């Protein structure tokens, strides 16, 4: 980190990080854990995705592999669980989306995809981590769907 950036707080709140964050989100426009696109996150939650540091070794000169785009919910979840990675491929609930899809349509598809995936897990396998991820993903999608519906009304 350069000498003029004395503290982490100054860096995170400064222009250099703001520009780096913007560039990272341009190249990584979806949450790495749940897959919500940044444009949907902004519409539903009123803010862009967070950019999480996986490493602070190159603070101020981060490489893409030092960072991860996360929605606020996944960011909190990741920090509370530690470094357990949950990816859209493992969760398998991220619906196909297009630019014309509304946030409500996106999350309705996500909830349906979760339910479909859960229904395919055999009863004797429902206590494993894959099931936990699907249940969490469904709850996340339901919460996001409710927020999207509130935003659409208001």
2 inside domain? no
1 inside domain? no
95 inside domain? yes
Whole-number pLDDT of residue 127: 62
Q: How many domains does the chain have?
A: 1
3 inside domain? no
- Please give the backbone phi and psi of residue 69, each rounded to the nearest 5 degrees, phi first: -80, 130
Whole-number pLDDT of residue 133: 62
Task: Give tens-digit pLDDT for 80-108.
Answer: 655 444 443 344 445 565 667 777 777 77
13 inside domain? yes
Task: Give tens-digit pLDDT for 15-72.
Answer: 999 999 999 999 999 888 878 888 888 877 788 999 998 888 888 889 999 999 998 8
Whole-number pLDDT of residue 139: 73
Whole-number pLDDT of residue 126: 63
123 inside domain? yes
- What does the alpha-carbon distance between residue 114 and residue 141 come to, in Å, rounded to a whole number? 8
DSSP character at residue 28: S
120 inside domain? yes
**In which domain, by residue range, is 30 found?**
8-153
62 inside domain? yes
- What does the alpha-carbon distance between residue 116 and residue 118 come to, in Å, rounded to a whole number? 5
- What does the alpha-carbon distance between residue 45 and residue 147 come to, in Å, rounded to a whole number? 8
Task: Give tens-digit pLDDT for 108-147.
Answer: 777 777 777 777 777 776 665 556 666 666 777 777 778 7
Higher pLDDT, 5 or 21: 21
Whole-number pLDDT of residue 143: 77
Tell if the pTM clears 0.85, that is, is over it.
Answer: no
Instruction: Indicate whether 76 pLDDT > 70.
Output: yes
Residue tagged 């099931």 (tokens): 131
Whole-number pLDDT of residue 39: 85
């Amino acid at each position: 980190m350069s000498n003029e950036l004395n503290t982490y707080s100054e860096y995170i709140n400064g222009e250099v990080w703001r520009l780096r964050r913007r560039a990272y989100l341009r190249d990584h426009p979806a949450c790495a854990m749940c897959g919500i696109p940044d444009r949907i996150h902004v519409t539903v939650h009123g803010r862009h995705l967070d950019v999480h540091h996986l490493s602070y070794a190159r603070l101020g000169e981060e490489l893409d592999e030092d960072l991860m785009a996360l929605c606020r919910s996944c960011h909190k979840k990741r920090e509370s669980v530690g470094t357990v990675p949950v990816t859209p491929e493992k969760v398998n609930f991220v619906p196909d989306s297009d630019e014309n899809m509304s946030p409500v349509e996106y999350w309705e598809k996500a909830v349906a995809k979760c339910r479909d995936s859960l229904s395919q897990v055999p009863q004797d396998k429902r206590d494993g981590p894959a099931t936990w991820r699907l249940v969490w993903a469904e709850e996340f999608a339901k919460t996001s769907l409710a927020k999207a519906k509130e935003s659409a009304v208001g």
